[in-house]
Amino acid sequence: MLLPDTAALRALATTYHDRSADLRDEAAALVARATSAPWQGVAAEAMRAAARAAADRLRATADEHADAGAALAQHAAQVEATLELIAGLRQRFLELAASVGATLVDVAGDVLDAAGALGDAVGAVGNAVGGLGDLVGIGGDDAAAELRDRLSRIRVPAPGDPAWLDLDVPGLR
């Protein structure tokens, strides 16, 4: 999975911001040149009015560039926050998976050590799995089958994948 490049988004935001400043400078220079023209008359006033109108359009374009730059910077910040949330969910999932796995291994080891007969071992494992089912929010007579079914349906997304936001795993949030 290709993760969003927030550095590129921020660089583009800076480019828009810089271009906005350039456009404002061009507008100011245009008005200054038109105002400082040494000639007078109707044509000179028409040229100055046209220069002011062009400068207004340049400033409006500069505003749009500034808005675009700000929007890109805000988007980059939101993407970074979402990626941090996804990374946190992924880490929590990995911790839960490791914890469940370690618990099952510990329980199985305890059951095998403590059980003197195969019947006792099978009963203890069944109880342990049922208890684990209660822990993760499933239960019933066939808790082990339900747990296996639920775990088999989990498709672990790639790091940074937005699918982490939709992952339905008990205890993840």
Q: How many domains does the chain have?
A: 1
107-161 pLDDT, tens digit per residue, is 665 655 555 444 554 555 555 555 555 554 544 556 666 666 666 677 777 888 8
DSSP class of residue 160?
T
Record the tokens describing residue 102, joined without a space. 């370690």
Angle between helices 42-114 and 118-135 (to 10 degrees): 160
Residue 171 lies in a domain: no
Which of 42-51, 133-142, 157-166 shows the lowest per-residue confidence on average (mean pLDDT)? 133-142
Rounded average pLDDT over 3-16: 93
User: Is the separation of the CB atoms in 77 and 152 below 8 Å?
Assistant: no
Residue 66 lies in a domain: yes
58-98 pLDDT, tens digit per residue, is 999 999 999 999 999 999 999 999 999 988 888 888 887 77
Angle between helices 6-35 and 42-114 (to 10 degrees): 170
Residue 157 lies in a domain: yes
pLDDT greater than 90 at residue 43: yes
Please tell me the predicted confidence (pLDDT) of residue 156: 75
The residue range of the domain holding 131 is 6-166
Number of residues assigned to the chain: 173
Alpha helix (H) ranges present in 115-156? 118-135, 143-153
Residue 55 lies in a domain: yes
Rounded average pLDDT over 34-43: 95
In DSSP notation, 43-103 reads HHHHHHHHHHHHHHHHHHHHHHHHHHHHHHHHHHHHHHHHHHHHHHHHHHHHHHHHHHHHH
